[in-house]
Amino acid sequence: MLEKTVSTSYREGKSPFTLSMLRLWRNRLAMAALLVVILYILLALMGELNIFHIKDMASNNNFDLRYMKPFTHIEHLFGTDNFGRDVLSRAIMGTKISLFLGFVSGLLMIPIAIFFGSLSGYYSGWFDDVAMYIMSVIVAIPGMLIILSLIQVAGRSFFIIAFAFAVTGWVGLARVIRGSFMQAKEFEYVLAAKNLGAGDFRIIFRHILPNVFHFIIVRFVLNFVGVIKSEVFLAYVGLSIIGVPTWGTMLDDSKLELMSGNWQNLIAATLFMFLFLVSLNIFGDALRDSLDPKLKNVV
Amino acid sequence: MIHYIIRRTIYLIPILLGAAMIFFLIFNVVGGQDRYLYNMLPKKVRTADQIEVYRHKYGLDKPLVAQYLDYVKQMVTFNFGKSESRKLPVTRLIKRMVPVSAALTFPAFTMEIIISLVLAALCAFFRGRFIDKLLTILSVIGMSISMLVLIMVGQYFLSYRLHLFPISGWQRGIYAVRYLMLPWLLWVTVSVGYDIRFFRTALLEEVHKDYIRTARAKGLNETTIMFRHVLKNAMIPILTYVVIQIPFLLTGSIMLERFFSIPGIGSLMVTAIFNYDLPVLKAIVMVYTLFFVVFSLLTDILYAFVDPRIRLS
């Protein structure tokens, strides 16, 4: 008797997500951008942990050191502001606020968008009508009016501002999710899952949601860009968070300092914001391109 | 088609009611009426009995439902009463300021759309080549600079140092152009980056379609393909993108208007929020919502009009 041993060496296929992450990994520009973003996170962490006295220098007033010019002193690289606070430290502390604001508003926004988007796309009955109605109402009011009034009425605290961004921001994402759900529920794999006895909950969250997840990730990344820009706007009209240094408040402070030749706030905040936003834009775009299944065959 | 338009027009009513409701909730429920009443009053009359007088005058002693119905009544008659901080009827205030905002936004918007369309067409035509890469990089850079920075630096150098434009201010009539030049320039600089990217994507999506390959295979030259086929078909997303932005133009640019002291809707809106000038805000919400719904309906009709594959139902 001959016993044939079957060779069991086979290669497991890679999941689409792994493939897209590989595509992203090969994109050098995107990886550089991601590195910059990570550096920003570390910088914010350093500020928060008060390494090199960053936190102290950002908040301690020292009137002997008012308006030091940038790039002249090694211990105050970007100079000092009106109150003698170190501008570089303030920009670093501003990084923390920007990161948190983007993160928290994203976390608040995504569950709302998933809830309304997925259920209204999947069921398309009365719930769809209600959800679409809510969305069209929110879109039909100027977003800035909602944000500004909410902050004015409820106070200039961190969570109110994050909440205000989330309230106006979820609609776009929910619409995209709804659209994909409407398409996806006609596909065979959903039918197959249904025939195998899967409940609606399982179909929505286990089967369809992973297919729209790339929209959510990309939106989460690009949400930072929108939030940081809006924060500048809030600071300009005087509704940013009270009592903490943010990039917006720094820019707003520099509004009156330019005439007296004090550019330090403007330079530091612009530089910090610009580099961060460029990196986020580049990384967000690359992420979208690599996760988009339509572009699979390009690489 | 007509059926669709009528149905959408009727749908305007619940949207307006909903917008009013959200606004009502923010100011009267989240904020609390006493606070809003207190802040709305001029400093001189902030005494307990004066507050009661005003409470009655604005109908704030009624139940919330009745107050909301009052608001609805104001919307239907388009009579929002007098602005408390400006001492003028709101309707007249809005009528006076919409043209100012429009004078700021419409020319800037038109210029910017034309410029970015031309540049995007250039990108799509020379895709992958030097000029495409350069413009893409420039638009990412443009997208990453805060508008406030551009405004400050622009005003400092162009107005304050080089005296090319007046620093800020406003004059009625044709002289307004003098004050609008720099805001227009800044508007174009800020938004051209976004729009180049959008238009470029819209154009490139067409370039990769099958019928373009067919056109190329039958020997058409690249210029004909670009202008006869690609541009024509890419017009569908571009047109909707442009039309849907028109309502935003009417609320003006808050930042530009405040920075250059242009008396438009945007700056009116911000001061109204600070002064709790509810009559003004109510009117702005209504005007904007109205325009938004009308223009999104217009977009849909336009969509069906330029693309026969789409049928409205």
Q: List the single residue in B19, B36, B146 with the smallest CB-CB distance to A141.
A: B19
CA of A33 to nearest chain B CA: how many angstroms apart? Answer: 13
Q: What is the mean pLDDT of chain A?
A: 86
Compute the distance between CA of residue A96 and CA of residue A103 in angstroms, rounded to an integer: 10
pTM of the model as a whole = 0.87
Q: What is the mean pLDDT of chain B?
A: 85
Tokens of B96: 């006076």
Q: List the single residue in A144, A258, A281 with the smallest CB-CB distance to B254.
A: A144
Looking at per-residue pLDDT, the higher value among A9 and B29 belongs to B29
Between chains, do B23 and A149 touch, taking CB under 8 Å as contact? yes
B4-30 average pLDDT score: 86
Q: Is the pLDDT assigned to residue A296 strictly greater than 80?
A: no
Compute the distance between CA of residue A279 and CA of residue A43 in angstroms, rounded to an integer: 15
Between chains, do A274 and B248 touch, taking CB under 8 Å as contact? no
Q: Is the pLDDT assigned to residue A279 strictly greater than 90?
A: yes
Q: Helices in chain A by DSSP H: which ranges?
A: 16-26, 28-48, 54-59, 87-123, 126-140, 143-154, 158-184, 188-195, 200-202, 209-237, 247-257, 264-291
Tokens of A265: 């706030």
Q: List the single residue in B14, B144, B289 with the smallest CB-CB distance to A141.
A: B289
A196-219 average pLDDT score: 88
Tokens of A88: 């570089």
Q: Which of A81-85, B6-10, B181-185 has the lowest mean pLDDT?
A: A81-85
Q: Which of A33-37, A56-60, A266-270, B192-196 has the lowest mean pLDDT?
A: A56-60
Category of A293 on φ-ψ map: left (φ > 0), alpha (ψ -120 to 50) or beta: alpha
Compute the distance between CA of residue A274 and CA of residue A294 in angstroms, rounded to an integer: 31
Report residue A298's pLDDT band, with 50, 70 and 90 as the boundaries. very low
Q: If you count them, how many residues does chain B have? A: 313
Residue extent(s) of CATH 1.10.3720.10 domains in chain B: 97-306
**Residues A60-112: tens digit of each pLDDT:** 777 777 777 777 777 777 778 777 788 888 899 999 999 999 999 999 999 99
A2-13 per-residue burial string, b: 16 or more CB within 10 A, e: under 16? eeeeeeeeeeee
ipTM above 0.90, yes or no: no
Compute the distance between CA of residue A269 and CA of residue B145 in angstroms, rounded to an integer: 11
CA A201 to chain centre: 28
Question: Which chain A residue is nearest to residue B296, measuring alpha carbons?
Answer: A140
- What's residue A299's pLDDT? 38
Between chains, do B30 and A153 touch, taking CB under 8 Å as contact? yes
Q: Which of A129-143, B42-56, B244-258, B269-283 has the lowest mean pLDDT?
A: B42-56
Query: Is B19 in CB contact (< 8 Å) with chain A?
Result: yes
DSSP 8-state class, residue A63 = G
Which residues of chain A neighbour B146 with C-beta distances below 8 Å?
Answer: 229, 232, 251, 270, 273
Nearest to B262 by CA among B181, B185, B168: B168
- Percentage of chain A beyond pLDDT 90 is 37
**Residues B233-273: tens digit of each pLDDT:** 888 888 888 888 888 887 778 889 988 888 888 888 888 88
Between chains, do B27 and A153 touch, taking CB under 8 Å as contact? yes
- What's residue A34's pLDDT? 94
Q: The domain A16-50+86-295 is classified under which CATH number: 3.30.200.20, 3.40.50.880, 1.10.3720.10, 3.30.420.40? A: 1.10.3720.10
Q: How far is CA B271 from CA A72, B162, B263, B274, B278, in A?
A: 41, 31, 11, 5, 11
- Percentage of chain B beyond pLDDT 90 is 13
DSSP 8-state class, residue A86 = B
Domain B97-306: assigned CATH number: 1.10.3720.10
Between chains, do B140 and A282 touch, taking CB under 8 Å as contact? yes
Other beta carbons within 10 Å of A64 = 6
